[in-house]
Amino acid sequence: MDSDDNLTGQILSRRDALKLLGVGSATLFTWSAVPGLRHLSSASSIIAQAPLSCVVRPELVIGPYFVDDQLNRSDIRFEPADGSVTRGAPLTLVIGVFDVSSRGCDPLEGAQIDIWHCDVQGVYSGIQDWPFDTTGLIFLRGYQLTDAAGRVQFKTIYPGWYSGRTVHIHFMIRTTDVNGRRSEFVSQLFFNDALTDRVHTQKPYKRKGPRNTRNADDKIYSNGGSQLLLSVTGNSTRGYLARINIGLDLTET
C-alpha cells in the first residue's frame, strides 16, 4: 500500500480542484497568536507582515483514501463494527479555524473539519487496497464542527507509516456562508521527524520496523509541508497534544 497521494498524475490547482468539487475556493493561512493582529487593515497586509502572523499555506492533494462517511465524533479511535479501540500512542489534535478578512482574523464557528489517517501499521479504514480490505470500517476517521472559539478537538493516535509517505494526517475544512455558498479546503498535517523517530521505536509501532520515507524525502511534503508542521507537546506515557491554527480567506472568488 504505497499509492497514497502518488504524484505521477496531475496535481490540480486549488481552483481546478474546487471546480471539480462544485464549490467555491478558500485561501489557507496559519499563524501564531500576535498582539494586535485583529487591527491589521487587510488580508494583504497580514500576508505582507509574515512571519509575524498569518502566512499563506499550501493546499495539498486529497489522496485516494478520503471516505465521506459523515462521522460526527471527537474520539476517532473506536471501531463500531467490533467495538475495538485502535492501538497507538494517544494523540489529542486541536485545530483552530479563523476567517481572514479586511476586519482581521475572527474565529470561524460552524466549520466542518474532517480528518483521516492510517493506523500504526499504515492501514486506512474504509478502503480496499491490496493486501488490505477494510471496507465498511471507520476507525481513525471523523469530523467535528468548530465552536464559538473556532476550534475542534479530536482524540486519536500518533499515525504509523507506509511506503513512500512521511507520517501525516489528512484534513478537509468545509464552510457554508450566509448565502449558502460552500467552500472546501484540503491539505495535510505533518510531524517533526525526530519526534516520529522516538514514537516509532515504541510498541506497537516498532513491529513494523523503521520507516523508509522522512519529511525531506516525501514528494507531498516538499510542496510546502514545512508550513503545516504540528506543534506537539507531551510524551508516550501521558499522550501527545498537537496544535495548529488555520485561517481561511472566504472572500476569494
Q: Read off the pLDDT of residues 132-146 as tens digits, 9 standing for 90 and up.
A: 899 999 999 999 999
Count of structural domains, the chain: 1
Range of the structural domain that residue 185 is part of: 14-249
Q: Is residue 7 part of a domain?
A: no
Q: Is residue 2 part of a domain?
A: no
Most distant CA pair in the chain: distance in Å?
54
- What integer pLDDT is reported at residue 90 of this predicted model? 97
Q: Is residue 6 part of a domain?
A: no
Q: Is residue 191 part of a domain?
A: yes
- What integer pLDDT is reported at residue 102 of this predicted model? 67
pTM for the model stands at: 0.81
Q: Read off the pLDDT of residues 35-74 as tens digits, 9 standing for 90 and up.
A: 333 322 233 333 333 232 444 467 888 988 999 988 999 9
Between 98 and 117, name the one with better pLDDT.
Answer: 117
Q: Is residue 98 part of a domain?
A: yes
What CATH number does residue 227 fall under?
2.60.130.10
- Residue 83 phi, psi dihedral angles, 5° rounding: 75, 10
